[in-house]
Chains A and B, each alone.
Chain A
Amino acid sequence: MKTLKTKLEYLKQVLPMLWQTVKFRIKVWWHKIKN
């Protein structure tokens, strides 16, 4: 059984990864528009 603590730890790892992906996608999109 996953405890609440494990779930929070999981989110702590996954959310920055997702945020990194979103940032990267925006960066690529902006780069494409600029060029």
Chain B
Amino acid sequence: MNNNSEKRICQNCKGEFTIEPEDFKFYEKIKVPPPTWCPECRLIRRLTYIGDRFLYKDNCDKCGKKVLSLFHPETSFTVYCNTCWWGDDWDPLEYGREYDFSKPFFEQFYELQKVVPYQATDNRNSTNCNFCDTVIRCKNCTLTFGGLQSINCLYCSSPVFSRDSIDSDIVFNIDHTYETIYSNGVYNTKFAYFSDECMDSAFLFNCIGCSHCFGCVNLRNQRYCIFNKQYTKEEYKKEIKKWDLGSYEIIQKMKQEFVEFYYKTPRRFAIIINSNNVTGDDIKNTKNCKNCFVTRHGVENCKNIFTCGLLLKDSQDTTTGGSTSELLYENASGLQSQRIMFSHSCNDSMDVEYSNKIYNCSNLFGCAMFKHKKYCILNKQYTKEEYEKLIPKIKKHMNDMPYVDKKGRIYKYGEYLPSEHSLWTYNETWANQFFPLKKEEALEKGYRWRDYLKRDYETTIKPENLPNHIDDVSDSILDEVIACEHTITEDGKMHESNCNQQCTTAFRILPDELKFYRAMKLALPHLCFNCRYYERLKKVNPPKLWHRKCMCNGVESSNKEYKNTIKHSHGDRPCQNEFETAISDERREIVYCEKCYQAEFV
């Protein structure tokens, strides 16, 4: 056993990374070799296997029904509609094959993945959610991805127990909100970021328990505040009339003013709530975790975790998973599972390696699209004895005959699946959302890229010709095809912009959406839903850490933009605290350590 930390060179980016003694213990516990890629490259590689937001028109390859599919029509994958995929009249064992010791394992698994039928979209027990993916027990949602028990949510991402909201991401218990991200328990609020338990407010950042607040940052349990300044109820009502968000011009003006105010107010180095011994960002109820991002509800003893929650324990390198799972490694989307390695979408399963879309299975290696199966390799059934005899031979073969990708990277046993075998191209996946690359950069790094679909929408109205105020919008807007503000019009023709935001170039306003904007007194958007999503993503820190020092200089911030309101424990001398933060030093934010932040705001 290795009791010292070891520095290694990443096979992908050639950067140096460290493997700690506890990591070696973990690898030994789950019997895998140490990684050859650095944590960030491993995360990107896993993210290239999570594709959503791109929905293509297709036909079910079994019943012929028209479906919206996650897979581009040019790909040769077999796609089944939800009903056919869950039906009992096909068996994934039909696609099984003998393990071929003359070929690398990764090639054989890719060949299997090319022929097994995929679910067009994975919506479970949901009603009227046809333009959605991975929504569970939802109703009347449109273009919403990854939701749970939510109603009337439009253009949202991961809403949980939420209703009547538009353009909101990673939210829990929200109602009547617009552009709210990473927030809980928010009602009748617009543009709230990282805020909890707030009502009747707009433009909030990291506020908790506030109501009737406007343009506020870091407030706790306040009412009637504008730009962090206290007003009486009457004064507030008078003042707020100047900021009529029904006007598009005022929204744009307010956005600029709020951003300036945000940059002049210190922010905590990381959002860590009710957690012990953790590093990362946006962490709640988490214990003993390193380099973790967006974790919730009882994540313990984990490392390199991204968007996981609800009792995920003793796991490393896991993305979007949890729900009473443990011992997950190099895994994407694992729920209620144990000992899952190098796999994607494994639910209620245990002892699974190199598999994709597994429900209620155990002891699988290199299988895809399985339900209720045991002891299978490459979708072929074996007895327990045969399986246990064959697995060590396959692992040895993977090391003796590794897969080498186009960039010369070597994939032995212990590596996640190669990005070039992903079902999606780089720009169709989460990888491009959190680590955006241009086409040339992506191709240079060895990722695949698919040019966006050529859209020939005939737009009937340009965004600049939309009514400025929502009160001036008539019902005829529902018939208009609005050009996205990011599109470029040249020679009377519409061209796709270079925003790299999956721009749909044009969009419509839905009847429910118009009703919402009218009820909330909000101006119509000028961007398509994908561009709006990417604009919101810019407000979220990347899943990456920088080592930095507190920017408190004693009486003011080191960039002289903020004067402290109270004497800090370090007196007039600069604060010496250092921390790991997801805010890089190239950014404009004033970053304070926990102590200085608490002295100022809590």
Chain A residues proximal to chain B, CB less than 8 Å:
2, 6, 9-10, 12-14, 17, 20-21, 24, 27-28, 31
Contact = CB atoms under 8 A, between A and B. Distances in A.
A16 to B, nearest CB: 9
A20 B187 CA distance: 14
A17 to B, nearest CB: 7
Contacts of B297: 13, 17
B173 A9 contact: no
Interface in B273-302: 285, 297-298
B99 interface: no
A17 B134 CA distance: 21
Contacts of A17: 172, 297
B185 A13 contact: no
Contacts of B285: 13
Nearest to B184: A20
A9 B199 contact: no
A6 to B, nearest CB: 6
5 contacts: A14-B310, A17-B297, A20-B184, A24-B185, A27-B199
Given A24-B173, A31-B199, A10 B311 contact: yes
Interface string B293-337: 000011000000000001100000000000010000000000000
Contact of A6 (B161, B187, B324): B324
Given A6-B324, A9-B298, A21-B161, A27 B187 contact: yes
A15 to B, nearest CB: 11
Interface in B174-190: 175, 184-185, 187-188
Contacts of B187: 24, 27-28, 31
B161 A2 contact: no
Contacts of B324: 2, 6, 10
Given A2-B324, A31-B187, A9 B311 contact: yes
Given A10-B324, A13-B297, A28-B187, 6 more contacts: A6-B311, A12-B298, A17-B297, A24-B175, A24-B187, A27-B185
Interface residues of B, number: 15
A27 B186 CA distance: 10
B212 to A, nearest CB: 12
A20 B311 contact: no
Nearest to B285: A13
A13 B173 contact: no
Contacts of B311: 6, 9-10, 13
A21 B298 contact: no
Contacts of A28: 175, 187
Contacts of B173: 20-21, 24
A17 B173 CA distance: 10
Residue among A2, A24, A27 facing the most chain B CB atoms (10 A cut-off): A24
Contacts of B185: 20, 24, 27
Contacts of B175: 24, 28
Contacts of B184: 20
By Cβ-Cβ distance, the 9 closest A-B pairs, closest first, are: A24-B173, A13-B297, A13-B298, A24-B185, A21-B161, A28-B187, A28-B175, A21-B173, A10-B324
A26 to B, nearest CB: 12
B159 to A, nearest CB: 13
A8 to B, nearest CB: 11
A17 B185 CA distance: 11
Contacts of B188: 31
A28 B177 CA distance: 12
A7 B310 CA distance: 12
A9 B199 CA distance: 31
A10 B323 CA distance: 8
Nearest to B185: A24
Contacts of A14: 310
A14 B296 CA distance: 11
Contacts of A27: 185, 187, 199
Tell me which of B172, B173, B285, B298 has the highest count of chain A C-beta atoms within 10 A of its own C-beta.
B173
A16 B184 CA distance: 13
B335 to A, nearest CB: 13
Contacts of A24: 173, 175, 185, 187
Interface string B177-208: 00000001101100000000001000000000
A14 B149 CA distance: 15
A12 B173 CA distance: 19
A6 B322 CA distance: 13
Nearest to B211: A31
B529 to A, nearest CB: 26
A24 B196 CA distance: 11
Contacts of B310: 10, 13-14
A21 to B, nearest CB: 5
